[in-house]
Chains A and B, each alone.
Chain A
Amino acid sequence: MSTQTSMTTGTAGTGAAPRVVGFVCDWAVATTDLLDNAGRLRAHPTVVVIRVPCSGFIRPSWLEDALKAGAQGVFVVGCPYGDCLNREGNYLMRERIDQLQRRLQRRKIEPERLVMMAHGLHDRDAFLAEVAAMLEALRALGQGQPARAAMPVSGREGGQ
């Protein structure tokens, strides 16, 4: 099934498929049999997954950096709300992403480029569906890298 979908998305437009970086909590959705050797999703080869110890581990500036470096979207996957192994990791991350979205919106960067998801270890179908929906939304936003274009000169974020 995955080969088929990758075929279709691959031929339909490698150029059109937006490049996305995903941070996935290692306790959340299991991706071992969804990834190829380079850490890309088989179903969506332009999506690269980086597994982290907890969604709360992610520093918002990394997401910003990824957008600045040329990714057209970033997502974070935590465990379902209420089920975080550390009780609060995914709630904290949701708050941080909300803040980051507001901050980026002031620089005309669409909040849709930053998605917080919550899927349990065996919730793979819902996860893939949400990634597909995100890619669809990114396609609708159009090509180009508004992140780089709209970013003001301030070199190093993160401090504030």
Chain B
Amino acid sequence: MYRRALTALQRWTLRLDVAINKVYPSDLNPLYYTGGLTNLFLFTLVLSGIFIFFYYVPSLSGAHQSVAYLTERVPYGGLIRGIHRYAADAFIVAALLHLFRNWFTDRYLFSRDSPWISGMFLLIFGGFIGITGYILVWDVRGLVVLSQLLTLLHAVPLLGPTLAWVLQAGVGISEETLPRILYLHVGPASLLYGLLWWHYVRLRHPKVWPPATWVLVSLGVVTLLAALVPAVSGEPATPGATPRTFWLDVFYLVPLWLVGYLPPLLVVLIVAAIFIAGFVIPYVTRETPEAMGPRHPGVAQVIDGNCTGCELCYYDCPYNAIVMVPSPYPGQTRAAANRKLLAAVLDSRCVECGICIGACPFEALELPGFLESDVQRRVAEAVRA
């Protein structure tokens, strides 16, 4: 069932690509750069966030006023605020697209689980940063978001009260609350870069930025939106007042929205189940190993006697899975007799793609499930037929 659904989703994802590639040159397809776009929006958020940080006053009486000052009096302050607001939305959209696309196109297989797991952490922290951002505006919506978040946290078994205490820095909303929320907005945002290091660490030449065209267009769309539909605060928050209806960004805050309809414990369990399922995804493959055929040829092996230590495989491996070690003894072939280095494959990083085999002109690497002799036999058969 899961496997069939995933295969269907993969088909539709890639059919969409066929259509998009008719319009753009294929290496400008924006869907190939969802990760880079996410990173671009994060960078935009950091820059605009630093600007806003200069004006923000984290106190119960000053917060709403300082945001209003930024929006009304500071030259282009409203624009920067709008950019921060819409880039945050775009960040989550791009991150979710990145997640779904990589899920549907099998980009979690074998040792690609490390980027996947770090990606789930990035999603959790990214979402949390977004929610605290809503609270910081300290209008009616912010207050409702905070109280609903507190309801959710209180519903967490055992840890609940402690988590709520950490979030509002004490019992109940006090003068300490907004500085704490501000810290919980900025701190995890810095942590994102630590997690990004983990996200990239196994990748050689990760595609961190989208092509210039999409950098300009996405920045432009965000700026244009920020100018045409300015981000505005609601009524200032007054703790204790009953909030009236207001517009809530449902897709961003689904869990908080659900609190209005379901018991909080159930919502907590649903959210937890979704994230646990997310962590399990890379370990449940769409196909059985037999069905994968040439896609699962086993971890690359170095043919010791042939390796000349030329480092070509080391430069081409996209996953940093090959390291060069000092050669303990000379190789057997003439080319390898004077080698100084020897290639070694780190099994825990190899994704069985075989790119090192193509890089090696000395026949010093083989995939156990797809030997060079197999290829040559099949080429010979093909030519004879």
Assess whether B361 is in contact with A53, with CB atoms less than 8 Å apart. no
B169 within 8 A of A: no
Closest to B308 in A: A159
Q: Is B188 an interface residue (CB 8 A)?
A: no
**Known interface pairs A50-B375, A80-B17. Does A85 touch B358 (Cβ–Cβ under 8 Å)?**
no
Give the residues in chain B near A158, CB-CB below 8 Å: 361-363
Q: Which of A53-103 contact B (CB under 8 A)?
A: 53-54, 56-62, 65-66, 69-71, 80-83, 85-89, 92-93, 96
Pair A48/B382 contact, Cβ less than 8 Å: yes
- Given A121-B14, A159-B361, the answer on whether A88 and B383 have CB atoms closer than 8 Å is no
Please give the number of chain B residues whose Cβ is less than 8 angstroms from any Cβ of chain A in the complex: 53
Whether B353 pairs with A53 at a CB distance below 8 angstroms is yes
- Among B10, B17, B382, B383, find the residue whose CB has the most chain A CB atoms closer than 10 A: B382
User: For the complex, would chain A's binding face be called helix, strand, loop or mixed by DSSP majority?
Assistant: loop
Q: Is B32 an interface residue (CB 8 A)?
A: yes
Tell which of B26, B206, B361, B385 touches A80, judged by Cβ atoms closer than 8 Å.
B26
B370–A53 CB distance below 8 A: yes
Contact: A59 with B360, CB < 8 Å?
Answer: yes
| B355 at interface, CB cutoff 8 A | yes
Q: For the complex, is B11 an interface residue (Cβ under 8 Å from A)? A: yes
Residues on the B chain within 8 Å of A66, using CB: 379, 382-383
Residues of chain B within 8 A of A86, CB atoms compared: 318-319, 351, 353, 355
Kindly identify, within residues 329 to 385 of chain B, every residue whose CB is under 8 Å from any CB belonging to chain A: 335, 351-355, 357-363, 367, 370, 372, 375-376, 378-383, 385
Given contacts A48-B382, A87-B318, A93-B358, 19 further A-B contacts (CB under 8 A): A21-B382, A39-B382, A50-B375, A50-B379, A53-B354, A54-B355, A56-B316, A56-B353, A59-B372, A66-B379, A82-B33, A83-B26, A83-B29, A85-B106, A86-B351, A120-B14, A120-B17, A122-B18, A123-B21
Size class of the contact patch on chain A:
35 or more
Residues on A close to B: CB < 8 A? 19, 21, 26-27, 38-40, 48, 50-54, 56-62, 65-66, 69-71, 80-83, 85-89, 92-93, 96, 118, 120-123, 126, 158-160
